[in-house]
Chain A
Amino acid sequence: MVEREVFDKSILVIGGGISGLTTALEAAETGYRVILVEKEAFLGGRVARLNKYYTKLCPPSCGLEINFKRIKRNPNIQYFTLAEVESVSGEEGNYDVAIRVQPRYVNDNCTACGECEKVCVTEIENDFNLGMDKTKAAYLPYQLAFPMKYVLAPEIIGTDEAKKCLDACKYNAIDLGMQSETINVKVGSIVVTSGWKPYDASKIDNLGFGKYENVITNVMMERLAAPNGPTNGKILRPSDGKEVKNVIFVQCAGSRDENHLPYCSAVCCLASLKQATYVREQYQESKVTIFYIDIRAIGRFEDFYTKVQSDENVSFIKGKVAKVEEDPATKDPIVEVEDTLSGEKIKAKADLVVLATGIVPNMSDNKIPVNITCDEFGFAVSDPSKMGIYAAGCAKRPIGVAGAVQDATGAALKAIQSTLRR
């Protein structure tokens, strides 16, 4: 057990995605001390896995890099990766928090030279690419990972392979004796930015995900289109690596559906519009069809919708896809839908079908040991009787990156106020 010296009036941020980074930085840059806890081996969360943001279509690295630089420069932020909050007690202004940190088996000496990876042979599922490819058991989570440090997967610890990695390291950066540790800290307020995960599309039994290889989800599409993804940014379909000339997007795949997620996931319409541009940019003669109930491009996003609509190779058909089958010979998925404007049933074949799956709050099944009020779906709701603990970003509601950043900035102020109220 390790006691960390922390200043008075410090703030705990749970979750190192874009919301957590923002809250931590905004608070730290006003002079408050912040402890940031992240479950994964790197900061950046879901945003790090995107190819581009909507609607500016710039890569997430630009926003994340600036934030990582701010963290590096700021002595007020202490961050823990591979860490989860174990327990919280106390009240506003005075919380005792235990943080459990899992061993990385790699220390700060790591220069990310990659020698350990070269000697490692065991492969594990690549979480960063949502399991679409494999990575070595000695790995850098992704090229721009922050912290820029390798990780040794627990799978090889205690084997000769781990020793080989140790021997290969010229910088004395591998520590196979590393143990998980509990760190106790005192904080004045807590911000929960535990984020989201994509809805499990295999639960939508009529849309064929998990049954047909060429039915993928929108988050997988981000990885396919991303230069650091499993196909190096070339959008190729999973079954045979064929270039995709005809892509169908299925909106509301699970969202706005009482059998799955009764709420609108808010980002999927824009995500599909954005992903339509990925396909159109890569393959000049490609065709994209978006099947929808309503396109929810609210506020200024309407302009982006109009822009994508003006591409004559992108068509929009009003009607929800309710059945997906597969041509067994070509493995082309076939969607079935009623075009509600013409009242005709359509069977459309495509190279690739992308399900616009929605946002599920991580708190829906992964309860964080903090006293926070959640709704029936696991989204945090503001509760005036529970001052001192706040939520931001997708822990609160489905929200895009820009909105999450604004929300997280507001949460920083709330957290600061709580540390002063004592």
Chain B
Amino acid sequence: MADRQLIEPDMNFVKKVAGFGGDTFKKCFQCATCSVVCNLSPERSPFPRKEMIWASWGLKDRLLTDPDVWLCHQCNDCSTYCPRGAKPGDALAAIRNYSFMHYASPGFLGKALSQGRYLPLLLAFPIVLFLFLLGITGHLNIPEGEIVFKKFVPHTIVDPVFILVSILVFISIVVGVKRFWKGMKNGVHPSESRNLSFLDFVKAHVIPVLVDIFKHSKFKDCEENRPRYLAHLMIFYGFIALAIVTGIVFLGIYFLGLHEMLPLHQLNPIKILANIGAIALFIGCTLVISNRLKAEEDKSRSTYLDWVFIIMVYLIAISGILTEVTRLLNVAALAYPFYFVHLVLVFYLIAYLPFSKFAHFIYRTVALVYASYSGREK
């Protein structure tokens, strides 16, 4: 007798995915054009045709444990050729959006990040927190003299907050990734437990994936949406540059005792790297936003989660640049408020990372590593 399987449709999931911008997936008539035109789809059990019917059937467990959802880089070749306007590209993006919520803990934050009405509350939290901390330490005024930001927000106030938040975020990510990995292992593309030492695992599966990510080679395979390659590349390297700078400054202040290292001279290599990073971030975001605005409605539609994430990053870049420019122009009345706004936005990005679209870089990396590990790739 053939294997029998009990299918458990989750109607709520179907509605949620539809709400995240996948509202067209029910038009799919399973012709499989998408699986063929996709340059990233494997030969064996290709995507996204199967994901489209699982989404319609509400097979949440399969989709959430399916690495293929993350192999997609949303070039929208599939949506362009889809004969039904079912937009598989948007459907997979919606499933990924659902995944952030599903894997992140605590769950209520995931829900809050996915809905526009909670945005003021999410922003109000760091504003109130910072105002409170500045208030009780007597820093709620614009300092006199040369603009040095630690006169306004001392490291002793801002750093503990960010260190604590980073630790919490890290824990949340570890928990999410563990659940995701376990899910994939027991999911639709299972992988047998293999006796692979950690070092071999890293060598065989992590490093090649990271090289691919750094080269953005998957993006290059996407035909329909080439402009996204450059835009994403700039944001990616902008972030990396800024992360390196932050790391160096953190090391300098706390481990090398260079308490007076900030502000850096404009010709300092670290500062140059920071400035390049900021500009890359700004240009990358500008490109992404313009690409999204230009995107044809019938091929791809941006959702709240897309917009709120890219606009936040954009605002971080802008507020950071404005902070620096006004500082150099010595306009204290602007420099300090811009700095405050920048801090609030950075808090938003970091503290809510596991629950927002920002988490895509984690889940996608993990899924790509899993795909390599389980032999899923072509």
Contact = CB atoms under 8 A, between A and B. Distances in A.
Interface of A: 206, 252, 256-260, 293, 319-323, 336-338, 340, 343-345
B203 to A, nearest CB: 30
A340 B45 CA distance: 9
B85 A345 contact: no
B30 A336 contact: no
A338 B84 contact: no
Given A293-B29, A338-B46, A345 B35 contact: yes
A322 B44 contact: no
B215 interface: no
Contacts of A260: 83
15 contacts: A252-B31, A319-B31, A319-B32, A322-B32, A322-B34, A322-B36, A336-B36, A337-B36, A338-B35, A338-B36, A340-B31, A340-B32, A340-B49, A343-B45, A344-B43
Contacts, number: 61
Contacts of B46: 338, 343, 345
Contacts of A323: 36-37
A343 B50 contact: yes
The 5 A-B residue pairs with the shortest CB-CB distance in the complex, in nearest-first order? A257-B83, A322-B36, A320-B31, A338-B32, A338-B35
Contact of B36 (A252, A256, A259, A345): A345
Interface of B: 29-37, 41-46, 49-50, 80-85
A293 B31 contact: yes
Contacts of B42: 345
B92 to A, nearest CB: 16
Contact of A344 (B44, B82, B83): B44
Contacts of A257: 83
A260 B85 CA distance: 12
A259 B35 contact: no
Q: Is the interface of A mostly helix, strand, loop or mixed?
A: loop
In the complex, which of the residues B35, B44, B82, B83 has the most CB atoms of chain A within 10 Å of its own CB atom? B83
Nearest to B31: A320
A320 B50 CA distance: 14
B37 A322 contact: yes
A126 B347 CA distance: 73
A319 to B, nearest CB: 5
A322 B33 contact: yes
B45 A322 contact: no
A258 B32 contact: no
Given A293-B29, A320-B33, A338 B49 contact: yes
A248 to B, nearest CB: 14
Given A206-B37, A338-B35, A322 B81 contact: yes
A14 to B, nearest CB: 33
Given A320-B83, A338-B46, A345-B46, 13 more contacts: A206-B37, A252-B83, A258-B85, A320-B32, A321-B36, A338-B36, A340-B30, A343-B44, A344-B43, A345-B36, A345-B41, A345-B43, A345-B44
Contact of A259 (B32, B34, B81): B81
A252 B80 CA distance: 17
A383 to B, nearest CB: 29
A295 to B, nearest CB: 13
Contacts of B43: 344-345
In the complex, which of the residues B44, B81, B84 has the most CB atoms of chain A within 10 Å of its own CB atom? B81
A206 B33 CA distance: 10
A256 B35 CA distance: 18
A208 to B, nearest CB: 13
A385 to B, nearest CB: 33
A317 to B, nearest CB: 10
A259 B84 CA distance: 8
A343 B32 CA distance: 10
Nearest to A323: B36
A336 B45 CA distance: 14
Nearest to B30: A340
A239 B256 CA distance: 75
Contacts of A338: 32, 35-36, 46, 49
A257 B30 CA distance: 13
Nearest to A337: B36
Contacts of B82: 258
A171 B19 CA distance: 78
A90 B35 CA distance: 55
Contacts of B83: 252, 256-260, 320
A245 to B, nearest CB: 25
A257 to B, nearest CB: 4
B222 to A, nearest CB: 15
Given A206-B81, A258-B84, A259-B83, A344 B32 contact: no
Contacts of B35: 322, 338, 345
Contacts of B33: 320, 322
A260 B44 CA distance: 29
A48 B273 CA distance: 74
